[in-house]
Amino acid sequence: MPVDITTITPSFEEFADMIPQPIYGTDLQHKVTFMNKFAVKAANINSEKNWLGVNAFDVYPKEIAVKLIKNRNDVINYKKQIHCEEIVKDQITGDTKIFDTTIAPWRNKKGEVIGTLNISIDITERKKLETETIQQKNELEGKDQIKKEFIKNFSHDVNLPINALVGNLALLKILGKEDEKFTNFINQLNKNVMSLHKMLEQMTDVMLKEQFEHIIVLSDFDLSLMVQDEIELAKASIEQSKKLSVSYSMDKTIPSKLNGDLSKTRQILRNLLSNAIKYTKEGEITLEVKIIDHKEEWVVKFIVTDTGMGIAESDREKIYKRGKRLVSSYETNIHGTGLGLYIVKSNLDLLGGKVDFESVVGKGSTFWVEIPFKKNKN
C-alpha cells in the first residue's frame, strides 16, 4: 500500500524547529514573517507573535537597523546568498550580541524572490574570547619589545668598554713589543676579550632573533690549534677559589687540516667546557678528542668529563631548551643564561652531529658530541 508522504514529511516550520539555530524569514519590506523557536529564544521574547510584521527599524537603533537592512537588500537585489557578522542588541537586557549570519533569497514556487531566509549563530562569547586573546597578545608583544630594547641597550653599553679594552691592549702590545712574554700575554688577553665580544653577539642574536643563524660557513682550519685555544680560555676562566684542573688529549690520527664550520665547532666546544667549569667546584675536567669514522667524512668525537654536581635522568630532555636552567643562580650563586646546551644542540643539528651524556648526581657528568667534517681536498 503506497505511503502518503504528506503525513510523515514535516512542514517547513516543523523542520526549522528541529534545527538548533535561530532561523527567521523576512519579506521584501524586511518585516519578520517567520521565526523558529530558537530565534524566539535568541531574541529574548515570549512568542514569535511579538516580532511578526516588525522590521529592524522598529526594534533597533538606526545605526544597527541600517546595516541589517542593507545586508538583506543586497541578497534581494543580487539574488545571491551572503555570509556576514551582524551586531544586535538584546531587547530585554540591552546587551550587545554578535551573530554569524547566513542570508539567502527566499523564493516562492515560481522561483521569484519574496524575501530572505536567515540562519544565525550566536558567536558573542567567541568574539569576546578573541578580543581578550588579541589584548593579551598585544600586552605580551609590548613586554617583548621592552625586553628587546633592554638587550639592545645593554649590548651597546657593554660593547663600548670592550672596544676601549681592545684599543688599550693594542697600545700595550706596541709599548711592550720587545718583551716576548708580555706580548704573548697581551695576545692571549686579546683573544679572551674577542671571545667575550663574540659571546655577547651570540647571546644578543639568540635573544633578539630567537633563532640561530641557519647558515653553515665551511673553511679549512687546524682543529688542534682551535682545541688548544679553547683549553687555554677555559683555564683562564676558572675562579681562583676553585681547586680545579683542566687537561686534554687528542688522537694523533686527526689530520692537520679539517674542512668544517670553525665558528660553530668552537661554540660547541666552548660551551661544553664552560658548563663543566661552571658546575664543578673541585676535581678535574678532561677533554678527549678522537676520530671515530673516516670512510666518507672525518667524524670527530669530543668527550668532556667533569667531577661536578651531575644531572638527574629526569632532566635529560630539559637541558637543551633555550633559557632553561635546572637550578637558579640565586639558589647556587652559579651565574649563566641557560643558553649553553641550547647552542650546542642547535649547532649540532645544523652540522648533522650528535650530542649525549651520562651523569651521576653529586659525582659528575660526561658529555660527548660527534661532529662530521669534510675531507680536505689538498
pLDDT tens digits, 150-205: 777 667 667 667 777 777 777 887 887 778 888 888 877 877 777 677 667 766 76
Cα–Cα dist 94/148, whole Å: 44
Contact 59, 151 (CB under 8 A): no
CB environment 73-91: b (16+ within 10 A), e (fewer): eebbeeeeeeeeebebeee
Secondary structure element (H or E) that encloses residue 118, with its range: strand 113-122
Contact 183, 174 (CB under 8 A): no
Distances (CA, A) of 272 to 34, 132, 234, 342: 75, 43, 10, 11
Residues 6+ apart with CB under 8 A from 376: 220, 255, 257, 258, 259
Residue type, 92: I
Contact 250, 227 (CB under 8 A): yes
Cα–Cα dist 149/297, whole Å: 44
Cα–Cα dist 190/167, whole Å: 10
Contact 350, 212 (CB under 8 A): yes
CB environment 270-279: b (16+ within 10 A), e (fewer): bbbbbbbbbb
Contact 321, 265 (CB under 8 A): no
Quick one: which of 296, 274, 297, 278 has its CA closest to 287? Answer: 274
Quick one: which of 173, 168, 167, 171 has its CA closest to 187? Answer: 173
Residue 145 sits at the vertex; the CA angle it makes with 143 and 150, to the nearest 5 degrees, is 95
Per-residue pLDDT of the chain (378 residues; tens, 9 = 90+): 454 545 556 676 777 777 778 888 899 999 988 888 888 777 766 666 777 888 888 888 898 889 999 999 999 999 999 999 988 877 667 788 888 999 999 999 899 999 999 998 888 899 898 888 888 888 888 877 777 777 776 676 676 677 777 777 778 878 877 788 888 888 778 777 776 776 677 667 666 665 555 678 899 999 999 999 889 888 877 877 788 999 999 999 999 899 999 989 998 999 899 889 888 989 999 999 999 988 889 999 999 999 998 988 888 878 887 655 555 433 444 444 557 788 899 899 999 999 999 999 989 999 999 999 987 665
pTM for this structure?
Answer: 0.51
Contact 72, 55 (CB under 8 A): no
